[in-house]
């Protein structure tokens, strides 16, 4: 079973995150498959819109715990991967699954059901629109694990939220409802059936001039965003010394052991 399933019909691609037993948590294979799906779609001249969703009622529960554990034994390689994007890329390996949707010339719509947490939410933030079901739960939860959100959030969140509201959600790692997410600007709409609404919107967009739609996306991206790569690089520079450091390990262990963490003195990044 493919961990990411892509179908294209009438110019509309549907990209399904497909690890339902793990609530579509992000494994190494999934990181690579999501990024590759985006790259493949970039090469399709007939493409008019993309719909992102998760299998079996959840969008994505964030980083797979087994994958997180495996990273702890290869920290030097991990930091190298964080700090050095592949040649010709502004996004590093971890950022690419979220940032690739901003690189597409066509609109991308995320249909959010169930949980949308951590890296899963950052992938959704890479889309142009996010449509959430009323009972969806969302969180920028990297601080729970002693990390910063570093999957392209520097390129997406500044266009959506004021700095103080963003810091509050990131620092608290609070789980919020879709209605709260709508009020905060994290989601575009709340709908009873996000997938049906996403398909409806994709179809409406696909009927417009592709030149106009691509031009509108380019216009907004150029006006609203930082220069490509500036924020991504800063994310990597801040995360590299944090990941695998004692306080980050303690955050993981305390969560796994369901106890209060005992942190040492922090250092600025």
Distance CA 254, CA 248 (A): 10
Q: What is the CATH number of domain 4-193+204-257?
A: 3.90.226.10
Distances in Å between the Cα of 241 and the Cα atoms of 82, 142, 143, 263 are 10, 15, 15, 16
pLDDT given at position 228: 64
Distance CA 51, CA 13 (A): 6
Domain parsing of the chain, residue ranges: 4-193+204-257
Distance CA 269, CA 158 (A): 20
pLDDT given at position 220: 85
Q: Which has the closest alpha carbon to 90: 236, 238, 240, 232?
A: 232
pLDDT given at position 194: 98
pLDDT given at position 174: 98
DSSP 94-116: TTHHHHHHHHSSS-EEEEE-SEE
pLDDT given at position 131: 98
pLDDT given at position 226: 59
pLDDT (tens digit, 0 to 9) for every residue of the chain, 269 residues total? Answer: 899 999 999 999 999 999 999 999 999 999 999 999 999 999 999 999 999 999 999 999 999 988 888 877 788 988 999 999 999 999 999 999 999 999 999 999 999 999 999 999 999 999 999 999 999 999 999 999 999 999 999 999 998 999 999 999 999 999 999 999 999 999 999 999 999 999 999 999 999 999 999 999 988 887 776 566 788 888 899 899 999 999 999 999 999 999 999 998 755 43
Distance CA 113, CA 188 (A): 14
Which residues partner with 53 through β-bridges? 16
The residue written with tokens 């940032």 in the block is: 99
Distance CA 39, CA 112 (A): 22
Task: Yes or no: say if 107 and 217 are a contact pair by the CB < 8 Å rule.
Answer: yes
pLDDT given at position 223: 76
Q: Which has the closest alpha carbon to 13: 122, 119, 109, 148?
A: 109
pLDDT given at position 264: 87
């Amino acid at each position: 079973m493919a961990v990411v399933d892509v179908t294209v019909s009438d110019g509309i691609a549907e990209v399904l995150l497909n690890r339902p037993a793990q609530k579509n948590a992000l494994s190494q294979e999934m990181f690579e498959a999501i990024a590759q799906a985006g790259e493949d779609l970039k090469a399709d001249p007939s493409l008019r819109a993309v719909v992102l969703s998760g299998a079996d009622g959840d969008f994505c529960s964030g980083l797979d715990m087994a994958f997180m554990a495996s990273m702890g034994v290869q920290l030097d390689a991990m930091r190298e991967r964080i700090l050095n994007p592949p040649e010709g890329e502004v996004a590093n390996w971890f950022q690419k699954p979220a940032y690739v949707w901003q690189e597409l010339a066509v609109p991308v719509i995320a249909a959010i059901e169930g949980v949308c947490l951590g890296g899963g939410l950052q992938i959704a933030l890479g889309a142009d629109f996010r449509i959430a079901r009323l009972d969806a739960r969302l969180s920028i939860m990297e601080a729970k694990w002693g990390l910063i959100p570093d999957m392209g959030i520097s390129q997406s969140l500044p266009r959506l939220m004021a700095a103080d509201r963003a810091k509050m959600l990131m620092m608290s790692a609070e789980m919020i409802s879709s209605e709260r997410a709508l009020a905060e600007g994290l989601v575009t709409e709340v709908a009873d059936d996000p997938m049906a609404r996403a398909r409806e919107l994709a179809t409406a967009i696909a009927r417009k001039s592709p030149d106009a739609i691509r031009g509108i996306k380019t216009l907004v991206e150029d006006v609203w965003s930082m220069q490509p790569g500036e924020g991504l690089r800063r994310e990597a520079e801040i995360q590299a010394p944090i990941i695998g450091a004692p306080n980050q390990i303690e955050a993981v262990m305390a969560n796994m052991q369901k106890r209060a963490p005992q942190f040492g003195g922090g250092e600025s990044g």
